[in-house]
């Protein structure tokens, strides 16, 4: 289980290596993604809070990167944070998400990215529920729900 100190270590010194790497040109991403998906995932944008019903969906399954399809989170780790964005306590695998220090918006935060294609997902904060204490605050347009068989 990842804890806040692990996240800070990854953000400062580099994340774990991904299982695969997906590299596409900006034109290829633009062709594949909607305007909102491109803005959030490729330009590090943020969707408006409460703009998706994904926050209120708690059925079993997994959530994958909308860009490359890499599995990122399990619905079992999802919780209602009340923030307006889907929130999780842990990634599916320790190397599914990459981390980097984000000093935009006059504060220091830890940005989360898909470790396979570098898509901006959102941020992680140390104010989540026990036992990890983590809150992965993820843009809904960066995710696609996939079923588990």
CATH of domain 4-146: 2.170.150.20
User: For residue range 53-80, what is the model confidence (pLDDT) as tens digits?
Assistant: 999 999 999 999 999 999 999 999 999 9
Please say whether the beta carbons of 85 and 138 come within 8 A.
yes
Please say whether the beta carbons of 86 and 140 come within 8 A.
yes
Residue 149 has pLDDT above 70, yes or no: no
CB proximity list for 55: less than 8 A, separation 6 or greater = 80, 84, 85, 86, 87, 140
User: For residue range 122-134, what is the model confidence (pLDDT) as tens digits?
Assistant: 999 999 999 999 9
User: For residue range 85-109, what is the model confidence (pLDDT) as tens digits?
Assistant: 999 999 999 999 999 998 886 788 9
User: For residue range 3-44, what is the model confidence (pLDDT) as tens digits?
Assistant: 999 999 999 999 999 999 999 999 999 999 999 999 999 999
Annotated catalytic residue, options 68, 114, 117, 137: 137
CA distance linking residue 14 with residue 85, whole number of Å: 26
Calculate ∠ Cα 82-84-86, nearest 5°. Answer: 90
Helix (H, G, I), strand (E, B) or coil at 37: helix
Q: Is 137 a catalytic residue?
A: yes
CB proximity list for 77: less than 8 A, separation 6 or greater = 88, 89, 90
Say what the pTM is.
Answer: 0.95
Looking at residue 59, its pLDDT comes to: 92
CA distance linking residue 52 with residue 147, whole number of Å: 19
Residue 4 has a CB neighbour count (10 Å cut-off) of 16
User: For residue range 107-122, what is the model confidence (pLDDT) as tens digits?
Assistant: 889 999 999 999 999 9
């Amino acid at each position: 289980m990842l804890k806040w100190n692990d996240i800070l270590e990854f953000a400062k010194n580099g994340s774990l290596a991904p299982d695969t790497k997906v590299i596409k040109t900006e034109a290829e991403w633009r062709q594949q993604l909607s305007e909102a998906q491109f803005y959030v995932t490729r330009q590090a944008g943020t969707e408006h809070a409460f703009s998706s019903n994904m926050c209120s969906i708690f059925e079993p399954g997994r959530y994958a990167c909308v860009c490359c399809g890499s599995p990122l989170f399990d619905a079992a780790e999802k919780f209602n944070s009340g923030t307006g964005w889907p929130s999780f306590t842990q990634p599916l695998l320790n190397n599914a998400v990459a981390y980097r220090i984000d000093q935009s918006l006059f504060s220091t935060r830890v940005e989360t990215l898909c470790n396979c294609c570098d898509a901006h997902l959102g941020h992680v904060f140390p104010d989540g529920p026990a036992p990890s204490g983590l809150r992965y605050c993820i843009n809904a347009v960066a995710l696609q729900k996939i079923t588990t068989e």
